[in-house]
Amino acid sequence: MNRFAEKSVAIVEVGARDGLQNEPEVFATETKVELLTRMMNAGARRLEVASFVHPKRVPQMADAEAVVAALPDRRDVSYIGLVLNKRGLLRALATREGGRRGVDEAGCVAVATDSFGQRNQSQTIADSLRENHEMLRLARQEGLTPQVTVSVAFGCPFEGEVPQTRVLEIVQRLAESEPDEIALADTIGAGVPRQVSDLFGKARELLPRNIRLRAHFHNTRNTGIANAWAAFEAGADVLDSSVGGLGGCPFAPRATGNIATEDLLYLLHRSGVATGMDLDSAIETARWFEGVRGTPAASMLARAGSFPARR
């Protein structure tokens, strides 16, 4: 008997935000909206749609407001806007003015090292904890779902190994602000399954059950999919992925893409874990974007297709 047969896990599709922010090309707003719409049609119910950051630092996200304004008003999905500081949060909140739908979730970001934080969002660990406390409180007050991601939780491109005790202390401090969800991110793809199991297991024990635990992995060193499975087994409620394996961090040298949504779906579905998403539709979207981008997708399933093949 498959012990995962009655299990399920939620997926957050991050392709249009984390996926496109590191691309050399700045894609049209219409292309981003089509990418998001295709993934909604594939069953994605939570999607990172934009990042409210300074356009000079991340020009690929300069049209954040335009993307949000053009999204379909679907009440069965939740739109996430990434915010690094209060200025970004105020921009996200402004998308809801005048009765507009706007974003539904404030995706705040904390950091696990000072060096990465200063390069990514001009904040030390202490700065980011203070800023996130205020942002999470304000987001909830203004009707947005407050959630937060801890970047470089498994390794930093500038400081190397990140102590587990530090990450858990940051998680505990963030939990005091009562977000709906805390994510641990392997921003540079340094983690391995044993490390993931240990950290997620301890974080799950630390957090009250009303705070969801989310996992965000990059496949820089080819461990991303295995890490996602380890996080799921250790108690992660939600897994991030990016269609086609798009992604990378502009402020983390040589950090390659996120784990591919279609590769993750194949692993989960063949293991008897429900996601509510359609694998074939995700593969079709990855292949469509190959044509838009003009280069092959990084995912395995975009190349190999599903199995068994349909006749």
Question: Catalytic amino acids?
Answer: 249
Angle at which helices 279-293 and 29-41 pack, to 10 degrees?
160
SS3 per residue for the chain: CCCCCCEECEEEECHHHHHCCCCCCCCCHHHHHHHHHHHHHCCCCEEEEEECCCCCCCHHHCCHHHHHHHCCCCCCCEEEEEECCHHHHHHHHHCCHHHCCCCCEEEEEEECCHHHHHHHHCCCHHHHHHHHHHHHHHHHHCCCEEEEEEECCCCECCCECCCHHHHHHHHHHHHCCCCCEEEEEECCCCCCHHHHHHHHHHHHHHCCCCCEEEEEEECCCCCHHHHHHHHHHHCCCEEEEEHHHCCCCCCCCCCCCECEHHHHHHHHHHCCEECCCCHHHHHHHHHHHHHHHCCCCCCCHHHHCCCCCCC
CA–CA distance from 243 to each of 38, 153, 171, 227, 249 (Å)? 10, 23, 28, 17, 16
Two tokens at 42? 């594939």
